[in-house]
Structure 1
C-alpha cells in the first residue's frame, strides 16, 4: 500500500518544524537576526535614500526628456538626473546650514551676554564666602591619601581614554555606513529597471498565483509613501518660507533659524507644528517677551491658514486617511520610534486603510451580486 504525501502537506510540516526551532532556540535566532540586520544596515539606509532621491530623479528625467528628446541625448538621461538630484539635496542642506549657523551663534552670544552678570555674581559670592576662606586656610595637603587619589586619577584617565576610543570608533563606523549607503543608493538608481525586471521574473517563477495581489499591495504602499513625502515637503517648504517672510516683515529676531525649524517641524504631523512654535517662542522670549507674544499670535494664524487652505491644496486627499487615524498613527509611531516613527506610520496607516477599504468594498459587491 503506497502512501501519497501531498506537497502542500509536506510544506506545512516543514513550516511547523521551522517555527518550533525558532521558538525553542529564540535566543540564538534573535542574535543571528540582529547580526544580519547590523551587517545589512548600510544597505537598508541606501534603499531609503534611493527611494527618496528617486522622487527627484523622476522629475529631472521627465524634464530632461522634454528638453533633449534626441536618441543620443537619452543615453545621459540617468547620469544627469542622478547628479542633479544629489546636487539639489546638497545645495538644500548647505543653504540650511548657511541660514541656521549664524543664527545659533547670535543666540549663544546673546545668552552669554545676558547671563554674564549672573556668572560674575556667582564668582564674587564664592570669593567672599567666609566659610570657604576658613576651609582653604585649614586645608593641609599632607593629610591626603595620595595612593587613593592616584588610583582615582588613573581610573578616570582610563575611563576618559575608553570613552574617546569608543566615540572615535562610533564616528568611523557612522562614516563608513554613510559612504556605503550613498554608493549603494547610486547603484540602485542606476539599475532600478533591471532590478524591477529581475523581481518580476522571480515573482513569475515562484509566486505567479499571488503576483497580482502582491504587486497591488506594493504599488499602494509606494503611492502612499511617495505622495506623503512629496506633499509634506511642499507644504513644509511653503510654511517655512511664509514664516521667514512674515517674521522679517514684523522685525522678529532669528527669522532664518525659526523658518528652518518650522519647515522641519511641519514634516511631522500634528506634533511638529506645536514643536516648531514652542522653540520659536522660547528663543524670541530671551530677546523680548512682547515680540515673543506677537510671534505666538502670528504663528497660530499662519498654521490655521496652512491647515485650512495650503495643506488641502498642496497635499489634498493624496494620503486619503481620516484625521482620527492620522492622530492614531502619530501616537503609535511616536511610541515605537519617536519622531521618525510619527513620520513613517502615517503613510503606513494610509496604505493599510486603502487596502482594507478596497477589500471591504469588493466583498460587499460580491455579496450583493
Structure 2
C-alpha cells in the first residue's frame, strides 16, 4: 500500500518540481520559449495554413469522388484536391489585388496632390507674412557649426544605410519563412491521415483512460474552428459584395477597394466592422466630406442588416457562443496578440463553452439519478 501511494503521488511531485524550476528561473525559461517559438515559427504558420487549406481540400476531394468513382482514378484525389485548393486561394488573392491596388494607387496620388497643395499654401503664407520674413532674415548662417552639420548628415546616412540593410534582411526572412511554411503545409496535407493515426496511437498508448475525453475535446475544437472560418468567410464575402454594390449604386468613389476592406474587416469579430467603416470614411473624406457622411450612414445600415439578417442566416448557431462571451474573448485575445488574438480566441472560447456546458449537463443528470 505504501509503494502504491508513492507511485500515485510521484507524477504530482515531478510536476510541482518542474513548476518550481520554471518560476524560479523564469527569465531563462522565457528566453528558451521565445527561441523555440521563433525557430519553429515557419512550422507553426505552415500548420495554420494547412488547417485553412484543408477545409477547401475536403470539399474538392468530395467533388472528385463524385465525378471519378473508379479505384484507379481515386489515387489522384489528394493531388487534385491540393492543387485546386491552393489555386483557389491564389485566385482569390489575385482578384483582391486587382480590385484594391489600382484604386489604392489612385487614392495615394490624390493624397499626395492634396499634400503638395498644403505645402505650397504654407510656403506662400511664410512669404507674405512680415514677421516670419523678419525671423528668417535674422537667421545668421555664419553662426552655424558646419562640422556638426556634416557629422549629422554622415551619421544620418549611416543610419539610413543600416535601416536599408535591416529592411532587406527582414524581407528575405519573411520570404524564407513564407516559403518554408508553404512547403510544410503541403507535406502536412499529403500525410495528414498518417499523422492523425500516429497521434491517436500515442494517446491510446500513454493516456488510455483519458483517450476518449481527449478525442472528444479535439473534435469539438476542430468543429468550432472549422465552422467559424467557413461562416466568417461567407459572411465577409456577402458583406463586401453588398458594400460594393451599394456604393456603386450611390456612385461613391473607391467602391471596390472599400468593399474589400469591409470584407476583410468583417473577419474580425466586433472590432472589424468599426475598423472597416473608419478606413472607408477617412478615404472618402479626402475627396468629399459630404460623401463621407453618406457612406457612414450607408455602412451603419448595412452592418445592422448584416448583424440581424445575414449573419444569423449564414453563420447561424455554428459558433454557439453568447454575445457576452464573444466580447470577452475579443478583449482577452486582443490584449494578448492583437487582431490575430481576437480571431483565434472566439472559436476557442466557443469550444470551451460547449465542452463545459456538456460536462455540466452530464454531471447534473448523474446527480439526479443518484437521488432517484
- Structure 1 and Structure 2 fold alike (TM over 0.5): yes
Q: Deviations over 1:150-209 (max 9, x none)?
A: 332332222222222222221111111111111100000000000001001111111111
Question: Does structure 1 residue 361 correspond to structure 2 residue 361?
Answer: yes
Q: Distance in 2 between matches of 1:296 and 1:153?
A: 46
Q: Deviations over 1:58-83 (max 9, x none)?
A: 11111111111111111111111111
Q: Secondary structure at the match of 1:253?
A: coil
8 Å Cα contact 2:240-2:260 kept in structure 1: yes
Q: 1:79 to 1:363 in 2, by over 3 A?
A: same
Instruction: Indicate the residue corresponding to 2:344 in structure 1.
Output: 344
What is the correspondence of 1:88-237 to structure 2 with a 5 Å cutoff?
88-128=88-128, 143-237=143-237
Q: Distance in 2 between matches of 1:312 and 1:226?
A: 17
What is the correspondence of 1:234-253 to structure 2 with a 5 Å cutoff?
234-253=234-253
Once the two structures are TM-superposed, the CA of residue 232 in structure 1 deviates from its matched residue by: 0.5
Q: 1:10 to 1:64 in 2, by over 3 A?
A: same
Q: Distance in 2 between matches of 1:268 and 1:236?
A: 9
Q: Distance in 2 between matches of 1:73 and 1:197?
A: 24
Q: Secondary structure at the match of 2:317?
A: coil
Question: Does structure 1 residue 66 correspond to structure 2 residue 80?
Answer: no
Question: Does structure 1 residue 86 correspond to structure 2 residue 93?
Answer: no
Pick which of 226-235 and 333-342 moved more: 333-342
Instruction: Indicate the residue corresponding to 1:38 in structure 2.
Output: 38
Question: Does structure 1 residue 15 correspond to structure 2 residue 18?
Answer: no
Once the two structures are TM-superposed, the CA of residue 146 in structure 1 deviates from its matched residue by: 3.8
Query: Please, what TM-score do these two structures have when normalized by structure 2?
Result: 0.92
Q: Secondary structure at the match of 1:21?
A: helix
Instruction: Indicate the residue corresponding to 2:305 in structure 1.
Output: 305
Q: CA RMSD in A?
A: 2.1
Q: 1:136 to 1:247 in 2, by over 3 A?
A: closer
Q: Distance in 2 between matches of 1:114 and 1:143?
A: 37
Q: Secondary structure at the match of 1:72?
A: helix
Once the two structures are TM-superposed, the CA of residue 116 in structure 1 deviates from its matched residue by: 4.2
Which sections of structure 2, spanning at least 5 residues, go unmatched? none
Instruction: Indicate the residue corresponding to 2:285 in structure 1.
Output: 285
Which sections of structure 1, spanning at least 5 residues, go unmatched? none
Pick which of 149-158 and 223-232 moved more: 149-158
8 Å Cα contact 2:43-2:184 kept in structure 1: yes
Q: Deviations over 1:305-353 (max 9, x none)?
A: 2112211111110100111111221222222222212211111111111
Once the two structures are TM-superposed, the CA of residue 358 in structure 1 deviates from its matched residue by: 0.4
Once the two structures are TM-superposed, the CA of residue 7 in structure 1 deviates from its matched residue by: 2.6
Query: Please, what TM-score do these two structures have when normalized by structure 1?
Result: 0.93
Q: Deviations over 1:31-87 (max 9, x none)?
A: 112111111111001100100110111111111111111111111111111111111
Once the two structures are TM-superposed, the CA of residue 145 in structure 1 deviates from its matched residue by: 3.4
What is the correspondence of 1:317-332 to structure 2 with a 5 Å cutoff?
317-332=317-332
Q: Distance in 1 between matches of 2:77 and 2:172?
A: 35
Q: Distance in 1 between matches of 2:358 and 2:42?
A: 36
